[in-house]
C-alpha cells in the first residue's frame, strides 16, 4: 500500500470513525500528538495503537513536542515536568561537563516516558541560537546564547533520546533564533548576511547534521532567497541544508497551518515537497484541512522513501539500561533547587 508523504494529527482523545477511515485511505507516514490528545497513560497508549492500526505499521512514527518548559504535552499529574532548554545551559557551578551530562540524562528520561506510551519521535532538540531583540518564540527554549553551547547541549539531549529508543528531530533548520516574528502568526524575514547566518545561526545544525530528522523554519533569509521561507525554498533546502550543512536525513516541514505560509493548504503542501521537504506536517486534526493537505501531497518515494526507511533504522531495538529512580534523583540534584 502506498504511503503518503505526510504527518497528521487527530482531533481528540480517541480516534473518530471518520479519522480512522481517512488515515486508512491516505496512509500517512506518521502522526503527531498534542495536549488535546492526552489525558492518561492508558488512553495515550490506546490512541497510539489505534493510529498505527490504521496504516498497518507497528513502528509508524508517532511524534510529540516534549521539550520541557513551556513546550510540554505530557504534564502532571501523570508525568513529571522538565526544564526548558535554557535551564541546562545555566546549571549551577559553571561546569560544562555537568551541563552536557544532565542534558543527555534529560533526553534519556524523556525517552523513558515516551517509549512507555509507544511514542517513538520527539521534536527535540531546539538548535536555534537566540539573537538580542528577536521575538521570544524561541527564548528559553534555546540551550545557550552561543552556537557552541547550543550544539554541545543539543547533541547531548539528542543522544539521550537515541539511546532510549526515541528519534530526535533537530529544529528549526537552518535557524529561527534571529526571527523578529513568531512564525505561528506571521512570516519572519531575516536580512542578515550569509556570512553571519553561516557562522552563528546555521552552525549548530552543521554540527548535528548526522541526526535522523529535521524540521524546517518558516523563515525568509533574504541573503539566500528573498521571497520564500526555508520550508518552500529550493535554494535554502538544496544549497544550505543539504549542501552547506551536509544534512542527509529526513526533512519535515513545520506545521503547514501556521500563518507564516501563504496559499491554501494544498498549495503549501505542494510547495514544501517541491522545494525538497521529504514529508509535510499538519497538526491541528481538522478533517477539512487534512483533506486539503492531501490534495497537494504525493506518495513517499525515491530519495524521500530512502531517508524514511533509514530514519526508522535508527531506532534502537535495545535501549541503554538505566535506573529511572536513580536518574531522577541525579537529574533533580544537579539543578540544586533552581528548577522547578
Burial tier of 239 (Cβ tally within 10 Å: 0-12, 13-18, 19+): middle
What is the rounded distance in angstroms from the CA atom of residue 212 to the CA atom of residue 210? 7
Cβ distance 88 to 103 under 8 Å? yes
| Cell 516541514, located at residue | 253
Cβ distance 251 to 245 under 8 Å? no
When computed from its CA atoms, the radius of gyration of the chain, rounded to whole angstroms, is 19
Which residues in the chain belong to E strands, given as ranges?
A: 4-8, 28-33, 62-64, 66-68, 71-72, 121-122, 167-173, 189-190, 213-216, 220-221, 250-255, 279-282
Is 282 an active-site residue? no
- The contacts of residue 195 (CB under 8 Å, 6+ apart) are none
Cα atoms in the 13 Å half-sphere on the side-chain side of 137: 22
The C-alpha torsion from 228 through 230 and 235 to 241, rounded to 10°, is 170
Is 201 an active-site residue? no
Q: Which residue is catalytic, options 254, 255, 278, 282?
A: 254
Q: Which residue is catalytic, options 42, 95, 184, 210?
A: 184
| Cell 498505527, located at residue | 52
Residue 209, Cβ neighbours under 10 Å: how many? 18
> Which residues are marked as active site?
184, 254
Amino acid at each position: 500500500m502506498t504511503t503518503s508523504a505526510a504527518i497528521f494529527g487527530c482531533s481528540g482523545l480517541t480516534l473518530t470513525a471518520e479519522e480512522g477511515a481517512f488515515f486508512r485511505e491516505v496512509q500517512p507516514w506518521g502522526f503527531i500528538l498534542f495536549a488535546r490528545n492526552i489525558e492518561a497513560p492508558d488512553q495515550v497508549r490506546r490512541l497510539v495503537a489505534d493510529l498505527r492500526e490504521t496504516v498497518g505499521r507497528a513502528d509508524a512514527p508517532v511524534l510529540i513536542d516534549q521539550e520541557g518548559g513551556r513546550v510540554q504535552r505530557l504534564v502532571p499529574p501523570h508525568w513529571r515536568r522538565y526544564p526548558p532548554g535554557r535551564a541546562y545551559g545555566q546549571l549551577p557551578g559553571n561546569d560544562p561537563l555537568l551541563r552536557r551530562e544532565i542534558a543527555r540524562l534529560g533526553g534519556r528520561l524523556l525517552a523513558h516516558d515516551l517509549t512507555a506510551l509507544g511514542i517513538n519521535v520527539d521534536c527535540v532538540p531546539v538548535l536555534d541560537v537566540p539573537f538580542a531583540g528577536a521575538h521570544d518564540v524561541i527564548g528559553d527554549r534555546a540551550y545557550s546564547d552561543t552556537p557552541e553551547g547550543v550544539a554541545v547541549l543539543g547533541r547531548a539531549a539528542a543522544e539521550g533520546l537515541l539511546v532510549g529508543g526515541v528519534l530526535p528531530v533537530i529544529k528549526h533548520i537552518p535557524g529561527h533564533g534571529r526571527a523578529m516574528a513568531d512564525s505561528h502568526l506571521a512570516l519572519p524575514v531575516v536580512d542578515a548576511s550569509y556570512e553571519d547566518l553561516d557562522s552563528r545561526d546555521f552552525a549548530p545544525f552543521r554540527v548535528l547534521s548526522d541526526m535522523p530528522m529535521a524540521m524546517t523554519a518558516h523563515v525568509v533569509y533574504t541573503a539566500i532567497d528573498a521571497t520564500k521561507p526555508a520550508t518552500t525554498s529550493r535554494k535554502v533546502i538544496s544549497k544550505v541544508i543539504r549542501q552547506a550543512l551536509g544534512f542527509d536525513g529526513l526533512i519535515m516541514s513545520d506545521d503547514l497551518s501556521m500563518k507564516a505560509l501563504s496559499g491554501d493548504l494544498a498549495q503549501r503542501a505542494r510547495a514544501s515537497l517541491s522545494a525538497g521537504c521529504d514529508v509535510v506536517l499538519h497538526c491541528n486534526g481538522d478533517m477539512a484541512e487534512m483533506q486539503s493537505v492531501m490534495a497537494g501531497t504525493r506518495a513517499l518515494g525515491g530519495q524521500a522513501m530512502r531517508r524514511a526507511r533509514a530514519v526508522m533504522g535508527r531506532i534502537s531495538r535495545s535501549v541503554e539500561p538505566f535506573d529511572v529512580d536513580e536518574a531522577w534523583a541525579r537529574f533533580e540534584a544537579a539543578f540544586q533547587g533552581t528548577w522547578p
